[in-house]
Amino acid sequence: MTLKNDRFLRALLKQPVDVTPVWMMRQAGRYLPEYRASRAKAGDFMSLMMNPEFACEVTMQPLDRYPLDAAILFSDILTIPDAMGLGLYFETGEGPRFRKTIRTAADVEALAIPDPHKDLGYVMDAVSTIHKELNGRVPLIGFSGSPWTLATYMVEGGSSKDHRIVKALAFNEPQTMHGLLDKLAQSVTSYLNGQIMAGAEAVQIFDTWGGALSHAAYREFSLSYMQKIVDGLIREHNGQVIPVILFTKNGGQWLQAIADTGATAIGLDWTTDISSARRQVGDRVALQGNMDPTMLYASPQRIREEVSSILEGYGNGSGHVFNLGHGITPEVNPENARVFIESVHELSAKYHQN
C-alpha cells in the first residue's frame, strides 16, 4: 500500500520532507468530545480498548479533525500484564490498577509470556482494522510500554509516586527483578512484532518511569531491556523500513546511550532542550518532541511562539518529528490543539528549503 502522506516516516529516517511532521501522544483521548461520546457508547475504557471497531473509531477521530501526519493505535501500555493474568481494571480518579501483584520470585516464575495472536488478539485485530481504514492516508504507529515501566505497575499494583516497592525489589532481589524484566522484554518484542505484521509502520516504546531511576539503575533495569527489544524487532516489512522510537520520560541525561541502542529516534520530554539534544546525538538518530503539553492551555499566539522556538532550536533539515513532551491532557481546548498542529506545518517550511 502506497502512503499518501509519508513525511512522518521520512523524517524518522532523516530523509527530506516539505514540512516538519507532527502527531500528539494521546491524540485520541478525552479532550475530544467525539472520543467521550464513543467511550460512553462503549460503556467504559476497557470495553472501548478491547473492541477493534471502537479502537479504530477513536484512532481515526483526531485524523478527521486535524492535519496530523501519523495515527497511533488506540490501546493501553498495560495490555501485556493484563494478558499475563494480573487483572487490569480502572478505578475512577485512581487510574489503572491490578487485581494481582508481582512481589516474589515464585510470582515471576508463574508468569507466562503472552502469545500476541491468542492472548492479545484484540490488539492485533485493532491494528489490522485501523490499517485497513487508513488506506494509506498516514502511517500507523504501534506501541508498548517498556519492561521497566510495565514492571513498576505490576509490582506496585498501579500508579505510584515514589516507586518504593518496585525499587526495593530491584535493589534487594535484583535476580528476581531481572527475571521479570527478561520475560517482559520477550513479551514486548513479540507483541510489537505482531503489531508490525498486522500493519503498524512504526513502533514506539513508552518508558514512562525510566527517568525515576538513578543513572546506573536506568542502564541496568531499563535501557538494557529496551536494547534487547530493539535487537529483536522486525526492522523491515513489505519492503518498508520500520522505524523504532524510544521515549524515556525525564531521560535527557541518557541521550547518547539511548542512541547507541540502534533505535531510529529518541522521544524527548519538555525538560530537554532540543538544540542541545541534537548537538549530543548528531545525525545518529531522529528526534521527536517536545513541547510542554500544558502549553496548550496558553493563548494561540503563545502556542505559536513556542512552536517557533522549538523549530528554531532544532534548526534546518530533516530528522525532527514534532510532538508534545508527553500526552495531551483531557482539559485542553481542541481548538488549541489545532493551532499547535497547523503552526508546526506553517512555521516549519522554511527549515526544509534546499
d(CA 345, CA 272) in angstroms, rounded, equals 22
Is 284 labelled a binding residue?
A: no
Residue of 7, 39, 278, 304 marked catalytic: 39
Is 175 labelled a binding residue?
A: no
Residue of 76, 119, 125, 269 marked catalytic: 76
Is 304 labelled a binding residue?
A: no
Strand segments, DSSP code E, in 186-243 are 202-207, 236-237, 240-241
Is 30 labelled a binding residue?
A: yes
Residue of 31, 35, 153, 314 marked catalytic: 153
d(CA 23, CA 293) in angstroms, rounded, equals 12
d(CA 115, CA 85) in angstroms, rounded, equals 13
Check if 122 is active-site: no
164 phi/psi in degrees, rounded to 5: -60, -45
**Biggest alpha carbon–alpha carbon distance for the chain:** 60
Is 235 labelled a binding residue?
A: no
Evaluated on CA atoms 54, 150, 214, 205, the torsion sign reads negative
State the amino acid at position 303 in one-letter form: I
Is 297 labelled a binding residue?
A: no
The SS3 assignment for 262 reads coil
Is 35 labelled a binding residue?
A: no
Is 28 labelled a binding residue?
A: yes
Is 26 labelled a binding residue?
A: yes
DSSP per residue, 33-88: HHHHHHHHHHSSHHHHHT-HHHHHHHHHHHHHHS--S-EE----TTHHHIIIII-E
Residue of 6, 7, 10, 26 marked catalytic: 26
C-alpha grid cell for residue 282? Answer: 548528531
Check if 302 is active-site: no
Check if 31 is active-site: no
Check if 39 is active-site: yes
Check if 153 is active-site: yes
Task: Give me the active site residues, please.
Answer: 26, 30, 39, 76, 153
Positions at the binding site for substrate: 26-30, 76, 153, 208, 326
Residues annotated within the binding site are 26-30, 76, 153, 208, 326
